[in-house]
Each structure stands twice: as C-alpha cells, then as structure tokens.
Amino acid sequence: MVTKELIKSEIEQVPEERLEELYEVVKLYSSPKARNNGTSFLSKLKSISIEGPEDFAANIDLYLSGEKTID
C-alpha cells in the first residue's frame, strides 16, 4: 500500500496540462488484458520472425559489432 500512496503523492505534483497524458498511461496499466487481447508477452515474442544468415543467432555479437556482415 505504501507504493500506491507514493504514486498518489507524485500525481498531486503533476502540472494540470500533463494530467491527460498521465491518465492515458495509468489506463494502460490498470487494464493489461484489454491492451494485449489476452496474449502474453512471451507468446508475442514467439511469433516474431526475422530473416538473416544461418549463423546469425550464434554470431549475433559479431554482426552487431560489424566484424561480420550480411552479404
């Protein structure tokens, strides 16, 4: 409950012109099911696919540093 009281205290200090923006953020946190349609974060990650060389996963550090390039 302490955290909730700290949040309320901080909200009191937010300028009036920023309250609408804050309200939108709070709405996102108050109803996570509506935001992601019941799909978990890990399920969404599983559905991501990328195109790259066969050794991309094993050598990602080399690709990111530029030691290896995609030809």
Contact in structure between 28 and 46 (CB atoms under 8 Å): no
Considering Cα of 29, then 32, then 34, then 37, what sign does the dihedral take? positive
23-57 pLDDT tens trace:
998 888 887 565 556 678 888 888 888 888 999 99
Contacts of residue 55, defined as CB under 8 A and 6 or more positions apart, other chains included, come to none
Instruction: Read off the pLDDT band of 66 (50, 70, 90).
Output: very high
Give the three-state DSSP class for 32.
Answer: helix
Q: 0.75 exceeded by the pTM?
A: no
DSSP assignment letter at 15: -
Instruction: Read off the pLDDT band of 64 (50, 70, 90).
Output: very high
Output phi, psi for 57, to 5 deg: -65, -40
Going from N- to C-terminal start, the domains of the chain cover: 2-65
